[in-house]
């Protein structure tokens, strides 16, 4: 990419673009570090980057949103600085115009509601506040995969008219691959979420929290009930019979113990109190 920029005479523009992407990703990294997250690596791409962390599905939703918005926030700060310098006239305005435009494009692109972009992560966090976490990650991945596929198709539709839109095609294929990979990783993602529930539940109980009830019949499988868990909520599971009488009230830890320790995800919840 760097060699191509030298040959075509766009070396300065490419260096500016990569510098903007680097600062964008360092914004994510700084926010993640301030919250105690562990960062595996930072990948830089021509149209953005990815900060890989160890906290997938294991932290409060508000933390994920703070880390997600930290990247575009750096672009906003850089735009303000560029506007101030351009206003003073201390530097040729043509470069600052390009700098501002590049920041706007990167920020707006990353705020699209598509995973793994920042906007997609924010949407997923918001969805997880009012629906079960498993459903939130599943729906958001489906939506992102669909948009990625449509983007790729839109790029290919120009073959017979204006030629393939190469930039759009590369972005579409990148998003398509990322979301297919994310879809296949949903079981792993969800298990990480469940494994973090014990610590999160202890924290909620320590400071006191309103429990959110889950009402099921005794034939419901443990694995199916766990898929009804909502992020940042503590659950009590009410087991009722056909006439509506309560047979048992189980704390969520009981189901997690059955799932992970007893290794009986397929057993009926009624077996836990027989």
Cα(245)–Cα(266) distance, integer angstroms: 24
Q: Please give the full DSSP string across 72-94, using - where no structure is assigned.
A: HHHHHHHHHHHHHHHHHTSS-HH
Catalytic residue among 13, 25, 41, 198: 25
Is residue 25 among the annotated active site residues?
yes
Continuous H helices in the chain: 2-8, 11-34, 61-88, 93-110, 118-130, 133-156, 166-184, 186-195, 197-207, 222-226, 252-260
Cα(116)–Cα(110) distance, integer angstroms: 9
Structural contact between residues 214 and 208, judged by C-beta atoms closer than 8 angstroms: no
**The CA-based dihedral angle spanning residues 123, 125, 127, 130, taken in that order and rounded to the nearest 10 degrees:** -150
Name the residues annotated as catalytic.
Answer: 25
């Amino acid at each position: 990419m760097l060699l191509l920029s030298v040959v075509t005479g766009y070396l300065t523009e490419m260096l500016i673009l990569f510098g903007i992407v680097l600062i964008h990703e360092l914004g994510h990294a700084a926010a993640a570090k301030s919250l105690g997250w562990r960062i595996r690596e930072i990948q830089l791409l021509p149209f953005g980057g990815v900060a890989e962390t160890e906290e997938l599905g294991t932290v409060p939703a508000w933390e994920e949103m703070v880390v997600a918005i930290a990247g575009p926030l750096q672009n906003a700060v850089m735009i303000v600085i560029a506007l101030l310098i351009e206003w003073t006239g201390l530097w040729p305005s043509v470069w600052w115009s390009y700098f501002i435009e590049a920041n706007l494009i990167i920020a707006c692109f990353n705020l699209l509601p598509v995973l793994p972009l920042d906007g997609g992560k924010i949407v997923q966090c918001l969805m997880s506040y009012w629906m079960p976490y498993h459903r939130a990650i599943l729906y958001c991945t489906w939506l992102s995969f669909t948009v990625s596929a449509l983007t790729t198709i839109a790029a290919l539709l120009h073959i017979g008219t204006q030629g393939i839109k190469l930039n759009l095609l590369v972005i579409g294929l990148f998003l398509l691959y990322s979301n297919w990979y994310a879809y296949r990783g949903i079981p792993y993602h969800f298990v990480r979420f469940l494994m973090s529930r014990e610590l999160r539940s202890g924290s909620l109980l320590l400071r006191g929290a309103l429990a959110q009830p889950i009402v099921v019949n005794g034939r419901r499988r443990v694995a199916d009930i766990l898929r009804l868990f909502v992020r940042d909520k503590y659950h009590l599971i009410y087991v009722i019979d056909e006439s509506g009488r309560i047979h048992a009230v189980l704390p969520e830890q009981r189901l997690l113990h059955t799932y992970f320790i007893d290794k009986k995800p397929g057993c009926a919840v009624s077996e836990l109190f027989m």
